[in-house]
């Protein structure tokens, strides 16, 4: 019994070290506040995700891809205004300079998740993997929130 417990602890510590080593000098943080996936509307297979990615590394990092089990197709989008029309433009990658942040927010840069495997309900947690150049990755967990929740939250301020 004790042995089992110890080996479990050992495995956790070991995998933590491996994760740390493979990250090299990548020092990326995702702020918990304002990080969420929007609940999807039943009957649709699409939603978006928002967060602030902070680059505390000494060098510029480039976000090249985002993946998740709940969507086979995640794109980086930029909202642009042309002739009073809001359009979305797909970006192949986004650079984040050293000690700068990338803000993904409604009406700006955002992640678009297509072909969702199921309807995303508030309270769920979604795991996303952020891929950067040099095969560096960051796995994050985002809560699913409805638009209503965000608006209510906003009124408190």
CB 29 within 8 A of CB 56: yes
Nearest residue (CB) to Cu ion, 22 versus 73 = 73
CB of 156 vs Cu ion, minimal distance in Å: 27
Per CB under 5 A, does 38 bind Cu ion? no
Quote the CA–CA distance of 27 and 99 in Å, as a whole number.
10
Q: Which residue number, 112 or 119, has a Cβ lying nearer to Cu ion? A: 112
Q: Smaller CB distance to Cu ion: residue 38 or 77?
A: 77
Cβ–Cβ < 8 Å for 97, 60: yes
Q: Are 76 and 91 in contact (CB under 8 A)?
A: yes
Instruction: Report in angstroms how near the CB of residue 92 gets to Cu ion at its nearest.
Output: 14
Show the tokens assigned to 16. 């933590």
Binding mask 86-105 for Cu ion (x = CB under 5 A): --x-----------------
Angle at 122 between CA 121 and CA 125, to 5 degrees: 85
Residue 80 binds Cu ion, judged by CB under 5 A: no
Contact between 77 and Cu ion by CB under 5 A: the answer reads: yes
Shortest distance in whole angstroms from residue 88 CB to Cu ion: 4
Query: Between β-strands 36-38 and 136-145, what pairing exists: parallel, antiparallel or unpaired?
Result: parallel
Q: Within a 10 A sphere around the Cβ of 11, how many other Cβ atoms?
A: 10
When the beta carbons of 136 and 145 are compared against Cu ion, the nearer one is 145
Total residues interacting with Cu ion, rule: CB under 5 A:
3
Q: Is 112 in the site for Cu ion (CB under 5 A)?
A: yes
The minimum distance between CB 22 and Cu ion, in angstroms, equals 30
Residues that bind Cu ion (CB under 5 A): 77, 88, 112
């Amino acid at each position: 019994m004790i042995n089992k417990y110890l080996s479990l602890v050992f495995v956790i510590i070991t995998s933590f070290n491996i994760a740390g080593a493979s990250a090299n000098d990548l020092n990326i943080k995702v702020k918990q506040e304002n990080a969420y996936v929007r609940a999807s509307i039943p009957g649709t297979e699409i939603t978006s995700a928002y967060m602030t990615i902070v680059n505390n590394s000494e060098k510029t990092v480039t976000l090249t891809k985002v993946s998740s089990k709940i969507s086979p197709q995640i794109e980086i989008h930029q909202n642009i205004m042309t002739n009073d029309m809001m359009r979305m433009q797909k970006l192949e990658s986004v650079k984040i300079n050293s000690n700068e942040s990338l803000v993904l927010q409604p009406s700006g840069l955002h992640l678009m998740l297509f072909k969702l495997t199921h309807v995303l309900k508030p309270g769920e947690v979604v795991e996303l993997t952020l891929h950067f150049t040099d095969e560096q990755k960051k796995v994050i967990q985002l809560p699913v929130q409805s638009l209503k929740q965000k608006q209510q939250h906003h009124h408190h301020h």
